[in-house]
């Protein structure tokens, strides 16, 4: 085990929003409608850059009322957005050629990215799986508690939630603020 904090790498915090319905949460039905990400410099964990883009769903392009209320993403936002393939290529370009690890609050985001890559016949970067940091699990382990939601973790740390919960870019920023507290104490494989 070696320390995760490395000047030559970045931590890319991602948070996705996807089509959803009050009574159906199957990944294979859901499609990404927003990718939010924050890039942290590896050693200092300072924010370097942000990525935010809506994504136009193709299988079920009409957003449910539940989805619009939960995320505040409106039909016009996704109607005028690029498709997943285009946005995902931009996202990978934004990450760039630097060494990086992907981090998210739990496993959902990585699984949904893999599902959408498969749906669109896009190669899913193996590094997303092998270099993934599950911050939810890490936080619970460090605190010796059961895994909890991002908002609850922020509250435990005394960090106010910024922006709108269930918006990709806002949640990615909030998760990055948690990462800045817990990663210095973590020993993970780099």
Selected catalytic residue, list 17, 60, 69, 162 = 17
What span, in angstroms and rounded, lies between the C-alpha atoms of 46 and 126?
Answer: 26
**166 in catalytic set:** yes
H-run or E-run covering 39:
strand 32-41
What span, in angstroms and rounded, lies between the C-alpha atoms of 68 and 75?
Answer: 8
**120 in catalytic set:** no
Structure-token pair, residue 77: 């936002």
Structure-token pair, residue 121: 């016949």
Selected catalytic residue, list 22, 107, 123, 166 = 166
For the chain, the C-alpha Rg in angstroms (whole number) is 16
Nearest to 102 by CA among 3, 190, 30, 7: 190
Question: Among all residues, which ones are annotated catalytic?
Answer: 17, 166
């Amino acid at each position: 085990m070696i320390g995760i904090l490395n000047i030559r790498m970045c931590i890319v915090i991602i948070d996705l929003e996807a089509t959803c319905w009050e009574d159906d949460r199957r990944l294979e039905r859901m499609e990404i409608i927003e990718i939010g990400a924050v890039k942290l410099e590896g050693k200092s964990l300072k924010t370097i850059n942000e990525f935010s883009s809506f994504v136009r769903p193709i299988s079920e392009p009409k957003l449910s009322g539940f989805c619009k209320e939960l995320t505040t993403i409106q039909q016009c936002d996704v109607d005028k957005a690029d498709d997943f393939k285009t946005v995902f290529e931009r996202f990978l370009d934004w990450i760039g050629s630097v060494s990086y690890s992907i981090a998210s609050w739990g496993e959902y985001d990585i699984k949904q990215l893999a599902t959408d890559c498969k749906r669109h016949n896009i190669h899913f970067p193996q590094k997303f799986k092998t270099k993934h940091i599950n911050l939810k699990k890490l936080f619970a382990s460090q605190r010796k508690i059961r895994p909890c939601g991002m908002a609850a973790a922020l509250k435990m740390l005394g960090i106010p939630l910024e922006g709108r919960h269930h918006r990709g870019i806002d949640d990615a920023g909030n998760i990055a603020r948690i990462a800045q507290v817990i990663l210095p104490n973590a020993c993970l494989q780099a």
